[in-house]
Chain A
Amino acid sequence: MLSFYFGLTMCICAVLTLVITFFMIYPKNWREKKLVFGVKNRPEYKEGEAAAEVDRIFAAHRKQALFVVIAGLIVSGLLLLLRGLILQTAVWTAFIFIIIIAVNLPYILGNSEMKTLKRKLGIASTPAVTYTDLSNAGAVHGLEPAKIIFPNVVGFLACLAALLVDLKVIPFDSLRIAGSFMITGLTAVFWSTGIIVLIIAFVIDRLKNEVISTDSAVNANYNRAKKKNFADSFVLMTWINTAFTFAVLAAFLFLYTDILLMIALAVYMLLLFGGVALFVARNKKIEARYEKEMTLTVDDDDYWLAGMFYYNPKDKRLNVEKRVGMGGTINLAHPAGKAVSAVLALTIVVTIVAIVWIGMLESTPMQLKFEDNKVICHQLRDNYVIDKADIISVELGENTGKLKAAKVVGLGTDKELRGTFVVDGESGCKVFLWRDSENYIKIVTKDGTYYVNGGTKEETRAVYETLKQ
């Protein structure tokens, strides 16, 4: 059931992301937009043969994107049939990577064709010319700091409450996992999402103001409206995040079931997507309102690689507004931008390696053996080595499924439990259990308690017999 709700949550997220991305990147009418596939829209594109060519480029790549989106929606639906959390996580992660690239590919191709057309028409880019409104420099903001700090403070209270429960300052006798810091960890993860949103909100509020007119008042109003839209969206998202942090806490303390948590997660994601949709609609309105007043344009298309990555060594700013999508992006030519890109690339590689590693673990049964007076727990590598001399007592348990184990650090999947767990109220236990194997050995040593077994019942019993001798 948990696996189904996980799949459902991922499916909802994928469907909404695909639909919103499609309408953001591939709008219906390119003539009304500031950019066509990341290339500044110009009057020259709207006349004669050029217009027909842009129509062709736009229609062809929009059609490709529509095909990718439909395929993505079908695959998302099919992935609902998958079972097993680890397999689902691996397949969904791979699918997300692939679909992100696939849905952006027509845009990248469109950008390349638009740049070729621009050269054909003899339009020279003028990236060397920039405009700055002296009256508005550093003075136009839309974010009221208190409005975004307050929900984060409220969210922090949820973390604090979870910490007090884990420290047993607030007694919650019915809660088995109190002391494992699992609730603190989980609430802290969601609260920290709010902190990340807060940082992004401040960064975006301080982005360079766009100069669209020689009239400073028009520039100020346009930028204020855009920044206010960003700020309102971020405040809304922070409140949704705070509400969910409390929902997580409540789910653990009062009505804990995995399914309820998954439903709450699905609602949380739906609300976040609602926030994004609201932002997009309001942004569209602002652009339409100021369209006629846009008399100044700077053509910096050449600094936008593939129409989406900003690389401008002459620009000392790190953050710039995105050309496509919501929010800001980084200048890849900036030293900090290079560092961020490296970290991002590393994160992607680590995620892929981690998924492959977990997949390998899942398909490799655990082994329990006794060699050189040592109990060795082995799975791809020696995880635990227990010296016989350190063992105080051993006990054979007959039903692995009946153990009440809550993970603190480690791996807890449908197939195995491995790492440090709270077992039957005792914290700091080392666990190495293959769930399909019925029995297990509880080994008490002077350093702590171990719960271990091998891939088969016989293997575990054999080691137990040896230890008893």
Chain B
Amino acid sequence: MVIRIDELSDVPIYQQIRNQIVMGISGGELKAGEQLPTVRALALEMGINTMTVSKAYQLLKTEGYIMTDRKNGARIRTEIKKHGEIPEADINELKRILSEARLSGVEKSRIISLVEECYK
């Protein structure tokens, strides 16, 4: 799985790493139980500070996407908690995106097909 980091983005790097790993899990690119690189190896590979990667891993662990232990490093959780809810902040973000799309003249059908494509 390839992670794309944009240093000029408003989104902090640790958040970009977190987001793309979540998308990787959701899209099936990262399988349940799959080993993630160590904090040091990933930081070295990306040319960023180990603290940044550590922060991303910590966030993923708190959110229940990965598990870490001293012996095996970080792995994708075999069972991710399914609470069936979209957090309030994400709903607001979705509203913003949809509003901008509507104002830009994007058809509802296009948005629905896009959602279906992403949700596969």
A-to-B contact residues, CB < 8 Å: 128-135, 137-139, 206, 208-209, 211, 214, 216, 219, 296, 312, 314-317
Given the contacts A134-B1, A134-B21, A316-B43, A129 and B6 also touching, CB distance less than 8 Å: yes
Q: Please classify the interface of chain B as helix (H, G, I), strand (E, B), loop, or mixed, using the class held by over half of its residues.
A: mixed
Chain A CB within 8 A of B5 CB: yes
List residues of chain A with CB within 8 A of the CB of B6. Answer: 128-129
28 sample A-B contacts, Cβ–Cβ < 8 Å, listed by A number: A128-B8, A130-B7, A131-B3, A131-B4, A132-B2, A132-B3, A132-B42, A133-B3, A134-B2, A134-B3, A134-B30, A134-B37, A135-B1, A137-B42, A137-B45, A137-B46, A139-B41, A208-B44, A208-B47, A211-B2, A216-B2, A312-B47, A314-B7, A315-B47, A316-B43, A316-B47, A316-B48, A316-B49
**What is the distance, in angstroms, from B76's C-beta to the closest C-beta of chain A?**
11
Tell me the smallest distance from the CB of B94 to a CB of chain A, in Å. Answer: 25
New A-B pairs, 12, CB < 8 Å, besides A129-B6, A132-B45 = A129-B4, A131-B2, A131-B4, A132-B5, A134-B1, A134-B21, A138-B40, A214-B2, A314-B47, A316-B48, A316-B49, A317-B44
Which B residues have a C-beta under 8 Å from some C-beta of A?
A: 1-9, 21, 24, 30, 36-38, 40-49
The 10 closest A-B pairs by CB, nearest first: A138-B41, A137-B37, A315-B47, A137-B45, A128-B7, A128-B8, A317-B47, A134-B1, A132-B46, A132-B3
CA distance A366 to B58 in the complex (A): 73
Q: Which residues of A lie under 8 Å from residue B44 when comparing CB positions?
A: 137-138, 206, 208, 317
Q: How far is the CA of A117 from the CA of B53 in the complex (A)?
A: 38
- Give the residues in chain B near A128, CB-CB below 8 Å: 6-9
Contacts of B42 in A (CB 8 A): 132, 134, 137-138
Min CB distance A199 to B, Å, is 17
